[in-house]
A and B are shown apart, each in its own frame.
Chain A
Amino acid sequence: MRYAFVSTLLLASLLLAACGSPGDPAPGTGGEITVAGSTSVQPLAEVLSEAYMGAHPEIRITVQGGGSSVGVKSAAEGTVDIGTASRQVKDEELGEFPDLRVFTIARDGIAIVVHPDVAVDAVTKDQVKGIYEGSITMWSEVGGPSVPIIVVGREEGSGTRGAFGSLIMGDEEFAMVETAILQPSNGAVRTTVSTTPYSIGFVSFGYLDGSIKPLAIDGVEATVENALNGEYPVVRPLNMLTKGEPSGAVKGWLDFILSDDGQAIVADEGYIAAQ
């Protein structure tokens, strides 16, 4: 009796394991949109998704992070409906994935931020370059106290790092000083800089809050106004990528984002309209 019970149980569990959930709708149709990629785009994408889902309750949009290169790769391979990236798509990537379609939905500034107690408010672009190269190692070299600079950066696949590289360091694939602490997202960089005295890092404008202090670069404050009028030097595109031309729910959402309503939300969130 007991053997019969146990064997039935085993068989039942095997059968249950073999069943999946009722067929997931094909990407782009029905009403499911999966988004993954840049952590810089993530907060904006979440707000845009909430606005769209409010008007279209049959659509479900889920947003994940992972970094810009994850966004490019996932979109190109069709793992998600929309991949996001906070940098230009590289030529090699376009060459490897010719089906990729790129839509610039906004532009975003990158702020150089420091721990709030650091007694430095402004630096030059060359000084930032020196700090991240490792040629400047003490805060005293940029007007602060005689304390070593703790450099915080992002992993190599980060779009924010890539954009920072091309706009400040002069090379997207620059060699960061080897003692830099690498964190895997904008949020993690912000947390690290806000809790580590004498640290410096770079984050998307969308992540600026009271816990970290943005520095002025070459005399220009890190504000949205300065990014809008072109004075702030570190601004990059926020891109949404699809495999092939978008259709169905994906197209609907992208059209919304690029419309006046969508761009108004972009501006409200502290980003710059795509133009």
Chain B
Amino acid sequence: MRRRYLVDRSVRYLLFFSALISLFIVFMIGLFTLREAWPAFREIGLLSMLTNSEWRPGRDQFGLLAMIAGSVWAAIGSMILGVPLALAGAIFLAEVAPVWMRGIVRSSVELLAGIPSVVYGLFGMVVLLPVIRKIPVAGNTGFGILAASIVLAVMILPTITNIAEDAIRAVPREYKEGSLALGATHWQTIMGVTLPAARSGIVAAVILGVGRAVGETMAMIMVIGNSIVLPRPLNSNPLTLFLSQARTLTGNIAVEISYATGLHEDALFATGVVLFVLIMIINSSANLLIRERRR
């Protein structure tokens, strides 16, 4: 009898201890990054880093604006391409698909989530770039935001589809049945009743997808060009902005960290802090929305 009680207690402590470890690790990573970044914030200044568009460590210029713009445009592009696709998938899985098809579609989407990002980058380089290069715009190298957006859209598809599908399924049956009873068609019900009801969950799904897009590194380095330039349209057509090369915040760190020393290295850690804060904001807003929905 006593032994069972002892085992019970010790397992409880062991599990508590394991949970504490994750908390501890997150805390330590945040603290370490902040500590390494501190000299950069002190000497260069947060405002200067966020508004200066020149990043030339050799000339003591540490402006992140070009990289922030690169990350933002790549994320926007991935949302434009990925969100409609993912939502359509979620609606299909939750409302339209026959039961036998659900398993197949859901497994394929989950498989997408398992593909390593470097494989996505490889696919982008070898298949996407030659296709994008065919667009007849002067200065179009194939590398750039469009390639990044397409790759990212595919990568965030599983995240958004998964959570959005849960949100749609969570809408009470009574809403749907009420709408159908009033004479609406299935599609009218989806558009007019189910989706609005699942709204906060869907928004949470999209925000989490964006968070993943902002954090992607390897695939970005391979297809976005890594040029330190503020993305701008290549000719009078503003859409050609998506054909501009760019560099993401994540790519900035990955390409330069292995050889950076001194203030340059600290500035890269500062980039990490900016990313950390950005993603924390994105994830917290997603969590708030999910919680609000559950109420």
Chain A interface residues toward B at CB < 8 A? 3-4, 6-7, 10-11, 66-70, 72-73, 96, 148, 150, 155-157, 173, 175, 178-184, 195-197, 199
Chain B interface residues toward A at CB < 8 A? 4, 7-8, 10-11, 14, 18, 56-59, 129-130, 133, 138-139, 141-143, 221, 225-229, 245, 247, 255-256, 258-261
Chain B residues with Cβ below 8 Å from A68 are 259
Interchain nearest-CB distance for B187 vs A (Å) = 45
Contact A182 B255 (CB under 8 A): yes
Chain A residues with Cβ below 8 Å from B259 are 66-70, 72-73, 157
- B10 nearest CB neighbor, chain A only: A7
Chain B residues with Cβ below 8 Å from A183 are 226
**With A148-B138, A173-B59: A178-B227 Cβ-Cβ less than 8 Å:** yes
**9 new A-B pairs (CB below 8 Å) besides A10-B11, A66-B258?**
A3-B7, A10-B14, A96-B261, A150-B141, A179-B227, A180-B227, A181-B141, A196-B141, A197-B133
- A174 nearest CB neighbor, chain B only: B58
- B228 nearest CB neighbor, chain A only: A178
- A68 nearest CB neighbor, chain B only: B259
Contact A3 B227 (CB under 8 A): no
Contact A6 B138 (CB under 8 A): no
Chain B residues with Cβ below 8 Å from A175 are 56
**CB contact between A179 and one of B56, B139, B256 (< 8 Å): that residue:** B139
Interchain nearest-CB distance for A243 vs B (Å) = 15
Kindly name the residue among B7, B14, B56, B247 whose own CB sees the greatest number of chain A CB atoms within 10 A.
Answer: B7
**CB contact between B226 and one of A96, A148, A181 (< 8 Å): that residue:** A181
7 contacts between A and B (CB under 8 A): A3-B4, A10-B14, A11-B14, A155-B226, A156-B256, A181-B226, A181-B227
Interchain nearest-CB distance for B132 vs A (Å) = 11
Chain B residues with Cβ below 8 Å from A3 are 4, 7-8, 11
User: How far apart sit A150 and B137, CA to CA, in the bound complex (Å)?
Assistant: 13
**With A7-B14, A96-B261, A156-B256: A181-B143 Cβ-Cβ less than 8 Å:** yes
Chain B residues with Cβ below 8 Å from A180 are 227
Contact B256 A157 (CB under 8 A): yes
**With A3-B7, A3-B8, A7-B11: A67-B258 Cβ-Cβ less than 8 Å:** yes
Kindly name the residue among A66, A72, A156, A196 whose own CB sees the greatest number of chain B CB atoms within 10 A.
Answer: A156
User: How far apart sit A68 and B259, CA to CA, in the bound complex (Å)?
Assistant: 8
**With A6-B11, A148-B138: A182-B261 Cβ-Cβ less than 8 Å:** no
- Top 7 nearest A-B pairs (CB, nearest first) are A69-B259, A157-B259, A173-B58, A182-B226, A178-B229, A70-B259, A70-B258
Contact A196 B133 (CB under 8 A): yes
User: How far apart sit A70 and B255, CA to CA, in the bound complex (Å)?
Assistant: 11
- B244 nearest CB neighbor, chain A only: A179
Kindly name the residue among B130, B141, B228, B256 whose own CB sees the greatest number of chain A CB atoms within 10 A.
Answer: B141
Interchain nearest-CB distance for B105 vs A (Å) = 34
Chain B residues with Cβ below 8 Å from A173 are 58-59
User: How far apart sit A100 and B139, CA to CA, in the bound complex (Å)?
Assistant: 44
Chain B residues with Cβ below 8 Å from A155 are 226, 255-256
- A157 nearest CB neighbor, chain B only: B259
- A66 nearest CB neighbor, chain B only: B258
Interchain nearest-CB distance for A95 vs B (Å) = 12
- B226 nearest CB neighbor, chain A only: A182
**CB contact between A182 and one of B57, B58, B227, B258 (< 8 Å): that residue:** B227
User: How far apart sit A237 and B129, CA to CA, in the bound complex (Å)?
Assistant: 35
Interchain nearest-CB distance for B141 vs A (Å) = 5
- A155 nearest CB neighbor, chain B only: B255
Chain A residues with Cβ below 8 Å from B7 are 3-4, 7
Kindly name the residue among A67, A70, A179, A184 whose own CB sees the greatest number of chain B CB atoms within 10 A.
Answer: A179
User: How far apart sit A268 and B245, CA to CA, in the bound complex (Å)?
Assistant: 40
Chain A residues with Cβ below 8 Å from B4 are 3
Interchain nearest-CB distance for A194 vs B (Å) = 12
Chain B residues with Cβ below 8 Å from A7 are 7, 10-11, 14
Contact B255 A181 (CB under 8 A): no
User: How far apart sit A213 and B227, CA to CA, in the bound complex (Å)?
Assistant: 24
**CB contact between B57 and one of A6, A10, A72, A156 (< 8 Å): that residue:** A156
Contact A179 B245 (CB under 8 A): yes
**With A10-B14, A173-B59, A197-B133: A157-B226 Cβ-Cβ less than 8 Å:** no
